[in-house]
Amino acid sequence: MYKVILKDRMSCCNKNQCCQNQVTSNSQDYLVCTCMGVMKSDILEAIDQGADSFEALSEELGVGTGCSTCVEEVQQLLAQKKQKCCSS
């Protein structure tokens, strides 16, 4: 499924432009994965809905399947969310 989407999106995305955390009007939300158009809020929502690993997020949202520049940040968001859940 994501191979078709990835091919289309990668044609307008080069490694130097991917995942540069483009800020939106909501300063709390920003583009984490430029290749797949995934916002921070999308990732956090997927985690809230049960995605509990990078692989699950990648399968559900397609993050990390393009240039892979966003992988580290996605993993950090996942770890932060897990830490908040465990500490509350």
Question: Where are the domains positioned within the chain?
Answer: 2-87
Question: pTM of this prediction?
Answer: 0.70
What is the model's pLDDT at position 28? 92
- Of 22, 1, 9, 25, the closest CA to residue 67 belongs to 9
Contacts of 40 (CB under 8 A, 6+ apart): 28, 29, 30, 31, 32, 77
Per-residue pLDDT in tens (0 to 9) along the chain, 88 residues: 444 444 444 444 444 444 444 444 556 999 999 999 999 999 999 999 999 999 999 999 999 999 999 999 999 999 999 888 777 6
Statement: 2-87 belongs to CATH 1.10.10.10 = no
Q: Are 29 and 21 in contact (CB under 8 A)?
A: no
pLDDT at site 84: 81
